[in-house]
Chains A and B, each alone.
Chain A
Amino acid sequence: MENKQIIDINNLVKRFPIGDGYFTALQGITLRFVAGEFAGLVGPSGSGKTTLLNLIGSLDSPSEGSVVVLGHEVSRLSHRESAALRNYHIGFIFQTYNLLPVFSVYDNVEFPLLLQKRDAVGRRKAVMEALDWVGLSHKAQSRPAQLSGGECQRVSIARAMVKRPELVLADEPSANLDAKNSHHIIQTMKRLNRELGTTFLFATHDEKVMGYLDRIISLDDGRVARDERPLCVNEAQSDSTAEENGHARRQARI
């Protein structure tokens, strides 16, 4: 695994205006991620997971402190530079998939490449390769409405991965899926993490996902409560090991 630093967060504070005052969603976060990590932000609702992902994804800017992603200080980026950072270097996976419903699977996966103005031949090759990764080549012409939840999320993964980003941000990717599909999705991402070296950062409170993570950052009330690397997680772990890890973690909490 490379040691290239991909995310550098220092004393990050994020406040949202509420009425006359402010709600502080993140306070004093300092974190670093290196290339190839398969890490997760965990914690209860309102702990600041999604806010932190948005800041890392350059969808929002910090109130204080700094977020440096791939060498870019996000608060100093213009809209255009932010868009370019997301377009070329960051993939997003959403809880509700957020596929464009009027387009086919192929079109949805192709969209980020259109924004990059890649040529048609290159696009086709990349799209079919991405669909191969998630096992949906045969559904290229289907519409999202014709797919199951698990398949939609796999399309979402293909769309995030098609441009070969250095970083993928996944916000509760398994929240709408059953256990079997959740494992399938996470295993797919884990495989891509291993094979392509892509850094994955999750926001999740799904125990099943946690079982696969090689780094778990617990957020509580906008602060980092714990930052741990489960020892038993490794690149070669089996599905059952991951499930056992999740089970062990649940037991430990009890």
Chain B
Amino acid sequence: MIHFLLKGVLHDRHRSLLPLIVITLGVALTVLGHAWVNGVLGESFVMSAHFSTGHLKAMTRAYAEEQDQMPIDLALIGVKEIMDELAGIGEVDWAPRIRFGGLIDFPDESGSTRSQGPATGFAVDLLTPGSKEIDRFNLTSSILSGHIPTREEEALITYDFAEKFHIQPGDRFTFFGSTMEGSMAFGNFIVAGTVRFGAEALDHGAILIDLTAGQRMLGMPDAAGEILGFFNNNRYDQKEAQAIADSFNARRSGSTDEFAPLMVTMRDQEGMAQLFDYTHIISAILITAFVLAMSVVLWNTGLIGGLRRYGEFGVRLALGEEKSHIYRTLIYEALLIGLIGSVIGTVVGLALALYLQVVGLDMGDAMRASTMMMPSVIRTQVTATDFWIGFIPGLFSMTLGNALSGLGIYKRSTAHLFKELEA
């Protein structure tokens, strides 16, 4: 009988090939859609963590109040001491940073101003051997010309900035800003290279210098605007982050000093809590909607497939097959086709998702005006879920559709089914 059923499935295109194509496409789209949503949202969080929030961030209480203004006058002092304290906390790598703003001035051959513009600056540890900041800023891949700074007087500037001011590696520029104490800060730098971070909010105009150079220029010895913490496995764990932050803050709970260090989790920064919640909700809605849509399509495929065969069921009943046997064979066929389609669809979907994970889709032009920390190259992110999520619409829905359509075998009288075959 199994041989007979297989033969029927293989020979009847309406029973096998067409549902198989629909299932394969539906499952592949489901897998790709899931990986896409994960990729876009996940990458945004990774970028936010690496460029801005860290998984944890220590700063002064006053700085925390106004951190969007990059107030270096409210920066942490005694960073070495704090770093020593942090070194014993969890599986976290800590990185002091200074974010600052000012004017950048490019001189002509005679030393006069050729062009000038506002710039956002990052002072991060680029020169200490083993520093992970180069990886966090993805400098090796992001650098478009020149090289990563090897000396304190070297700086990286973003590609858009370089284009706008016609800057080449080797050119010099002067940064004007204010020191931590409020006096004027100057710094002369050589452009080591140009970078494109892949986030339009940063690529508009930013410079990246070594932390030590920044500390010297901004009058911040043993000081930093913030100390970012990153879990060593690079995965954000809200529970663990909160525990670390609570433990750190508990040691200073009695202090009323507005410059006392305060640690916050990624979720507690810059509206990230809402973003986290919205993202999870939107992600869940998108994925659920997609899975449901595919489920309805494939359910319908199963349903139509079953209804189309009522005539055949009538013949089989007349030949002496039991209703329950017909129903079971219908389910077995749906399971078989659903399984094959789901496997093929998952393989196709994963292949596409992996391709887009590696190659990505450059949305830079469309996101030129964006101020959000979002990647301009959108990539999918393949997770373990992608290996099974396609089976929900592919196997479950197809089988459910067939199961529901097959109930008609029981609801209709045998003679009625018999009439349908005569129709």
Q: Which residues of A contact B (CB under 8 A)?
A: 54, 57, 59-60, 79-80, 82-88, 90, 92, 94-96, 98, 100, 102-103, 107, 110-112, 114-116, 159
Q: Which residues of B contact A (CB under 8 A)?
A: 1, 4, 7-8, 11-12, 15, 311-312, 314-325, 413-415, 418, 421-422
**Within 8 Å CB of A116, what residues of B?**
320
Q: Report the bound CA distance from A103 to B324 in whole Å.
A: 22
Q: Report the bound CA distance from A79 to B418 in whole Å.
A: 14
Secondary structure dominating the interface of B: helix
B6 to chain A, nearest CB (A): 12
Chain A residue, CB-CB nearest to B321: A115
Task: Report whether B12 and A111 are in contact in the complex, using a CB–CB cutoff of 8 Å.
Answer: no
Task: Report whether B414 and A159 are in contact in the complex, using a CB–CB cutoff of 8 Å.
Answer: no
Task: Report whether B315 and A60 are in contact in the complex, using a CB–CB cutoff of 8 Å.
Answer: no
Chain A residue, CB-CB nearest to B319: A112
Task: Report whether A96 and B322 are in contact in the complex, using a CB–CB cutoff of 8 Å.
Answer: no
**Within 8 Å CB of B324, what residues of A?**
79-80
**3 A-B pairs with the lowest CB-CB distances in the bound complex, closest first:** A87-B320, A60-B415, A102-B11
Q: Report the bound CA distance from A38 to B311 in whole Å.
A: 28
With A95-B422, A102-B12, A103-B11 as known contacts, state yes or no: A87 contacts B4, CB within 8 Å: no
With A84-B320, A86-B320, A87-B320 as known contacts, state yes or no: A100 contacts B415, CB within 8 Å: no
**Within 8 Å CB of B12, what residues of A?**
102
- Pairs across A and B, CB under 8 Å, 25 listed: A57-B318, A59-B317, A79-B324, A79-B414, A80-B324, A83-B322, A83-B323, A85-B320, A86-B318, A88-B320, A92-B318, A92-B319, A94-B422, A96-B421, A98-B315, A98-B421, A100-B315, A102-B8, A102-B11, A103-B4, A107-B4, A111-B319, A112-B319, A114-B4, A115-B321
Pick from A60, A94, A107: contact of B7, CB below 8 A: A107
Task: Report whether B312 and A79 are in contact in the complex, using a CB–CB cutoff of 8 Å.
Answer: no
Task: Report whether B321 and A87 are in contact in the complex, using a CB–CB cutoff of 8 Å.
Answer: yes
Q: Report the bound CA distance from A114 to B418 in whole Å.
A: 21
Pick from B312, B322, B421: contact of A80, CB below 8 A: B322
With A54-B418, A59-B418 as known contacts, state yes or no: A100 contacts B321, CB within 8 Å: no
**Within 8 Å CB of B322, what residues of A?**
79-80, 83
Pick from B1, B318, B323: contact of A79, CB below 8 A: B323
Q: Report the bound CA distance from A7 to B332 in whole Å.
A: 38
**Within 8 Å CB of B7, what residues of A?**
102-103, 107
Task: Report whether A159 and B11 are in contact in the complex, using a CB–CB cutoff of 8 Å.
Answer: no
Task: Report whether B8 and A54 are in contact in the complex, using a CB–CB cutoff of 8 Å.
Answer: no
Q: Report the bound CA distance from A57 to B419 in whole Å.
A: 13
Task: Report whether B414 and A59 are in contact in the complex, using a CB–CB cutoff of 8 Å.
Answer: yes
With A60-B415, A102-B11, A103-B8 as known contacts, state yes or no: A114 contacts B320, CB within 8 Å: no
Task: Report whether B319 and A87 are in contact in the complex, using a CB–CB cutoff of 8 Å.
Answer: yes
Task: Report whether B319 and A159 are in contact in the complex, using a CB–CB cutoff of 8 Å.
Answer: yes
**Within 8 Å CB of A107, what residues of B?**
4, 7
Task: Report whether A86 and B415 are in contact in the complex, using a CB–CB cutoff of 8 Å.
Answer: no
Chain B residue, CB-CB nearest to A80: B322
Q: Report the bound CA distance from A59 to B7 in whole Å.
A: 28
Pick from A60, A90, A96, A115: contact of B414, CB below 8 A: A60
**Within 8 Å CB of B415, what residues of A?**
54, 59-60
A24 to chain B, nearest CB (A): 16
Q: Report the bound CA distance from A23 to B4 in whole Å.
A: 41
Task: Report whether A100 and B8 are in contact in the complex, using a CB–CB cutoff of 8 Å.
Answer: yes
With A59-B414, A95-B422 as known contacts, state yes or no: A115 contacts B318, CB within 8 Å: no
Q: Report the bound CA distance from A115 to B415 in whole Å.
A: 20
**Within 8 Å CB of B319, what residues of A?**
86-87, 92, 111-112, 115, 159
Identify the interface centre among B12, B322, B421: most chain A CB within 10 Å of its CB.
B322
**Within 8 Å CB of A60, what residues of B?**
413-415
Q: A85-B320, A86-B317, A96-B422 are in contact. List 19 more A-B contacts (CB 8 A).
A: A79-B414, A80-B322, A80-B324, A83-B317, A83-B321, A83-B322, A86-B319, A96-B421, A100-B8, A100-B315, A102-B7, A102-B12, A103-B7, A103-B8, A107-B4, A110-B4, A112-B320, A114-B1, A115-B319
